[in-house]
Amino acid sequence: MCSHYQTLKDAELLLKKFGVPKKPGSLGVYDMWPRRQGLFVRRPVEHDAGDEAVPEREALIGQWGMIPPGTRPEKLAEAIKKSTFNARSETAHQLWTFRNAWAKGQHCIIPADAIFEPDWRPVDQGLSTKSVATRFARADGEPLGIAGLWDRWHDAAGQLQESYTMLTINADAHPLFKHYHQSGKEKRMVVILPEGAYGDWLTAPAEATRDFLLPYPADQLVATPMK
């Protein structure tokens, strides 16, 4: 489960690597934690309306943590507090928070310099009860493209807002991620897309979603303890 990541600092990378036609007004907060405003890439809502002026992709800012559409104003404060920044791919299609986005194939990509996970393994044969934050990045230095879902909700003033979540898969057998998180608990990892799959992911129908939920090769990642 990822609860901390770093987005991009360079807007040119967004254009070059994620096919966004123009720079957004903001890249959001660089050090991202749940409920902060971050950047994600999606196929524009208006894309299928037949307007040739609508680009294939757009980058916009939304809350990291899904708020389901239809959430009543009196329930918003409660909904915002929930841990909806990650969505388990095995159950997302069933849960109220994510099922609308899953059913509609509302796929997005979350650009990131790196993600962070806790390492609970004992240090120097000791019996440490503290975790060591570990930074995961691509070995070639290029940005990560994390698979996610997006949705829209109305705030207390009735204004339309955007939110997104990262999709996760089991990592018990992953050569790298199996070593992280607490002992005895299931290992999880976010879905990191290969660059060649970005376009297909954003346009894939809901029934093809699981075809993309694959583990990223361990030898293409580097893990750095933040001591």
How do strand 58-64 and strand 37-42 relate by DSSP bridges? antiparallel
Distance CA 168, CA 188 (A): 6
Q: What are the helix (H) ranges across 24-168?
A: 76-81, 99-103
Question: What's phi and psi for 11, nearest 5 deg?
Answer: -65, -30
* Beta sheet of 31-32, edge-to-edge order: 31-32, 5-6, 114-119, 132-138, 221-225
181 backbone φψ class: left, alpha, beta (φ>0; ψ -120 to 50): left
E-assigned strand segments in 10-53: 31-32, 37-42
Residue-wise pLDDT for 146-171, tens only, equals 999 999 988 888 889 999 999 999 99
Residue found by looking up tokens 């680009």 in the block: 55
Domain assignment present for residue 101? The answer is yes
Is residue 226 included in any domain, yes or no? no
- Each residue's pLDDT tens digit, 73-116: 888 888 888 889 999 999 999 999 999 999 999 999 999 999 99
Residue 168: partners with Cβ closer than 8 Å, 6 or more residues away: 1, 2, 86, 87, 88, 89, 188, 189, 190, 191
Q: Domain for residue 181, yes or no?
A: no
Closest CA to 107 of 29, 185, 193, 184: 193
DSSP three-state, residue 26: coil
Task: State the Cα–Cα distance between residues 112 and 137, nearest whole angstrom.
Answer: 9
The average pLDDT across 163-183 equals: 92
Structural domain harbouring 17: 5-116+141-175+191-220
Give the model confidence (pLDDT) of 107-144 as tens digits: 999 999 999 998 877 654 455 567 888 999 999 999 99
The answer to whether residue 123 sits within a structural domain is no
Q: And the tokens for 219? A: 């030898």
Structural tokens at position 110? 């979350």
Within-domain flag for 77: yes
Helix (H, G, I), strand (E, B) or coil at 192: strand
- What's the domain count of the chain? 1
CATH number at residue 162: 3.90.1680.10
Mean pLDDT of the chain: 90
Average pLDDT on 15-29 reads 90
Q: Let me know if residue 124 belongs to a domain.
A: no
The answer to whether residue 43 is domain-embedded is: yes
Residue 89 lies in a domain: yes
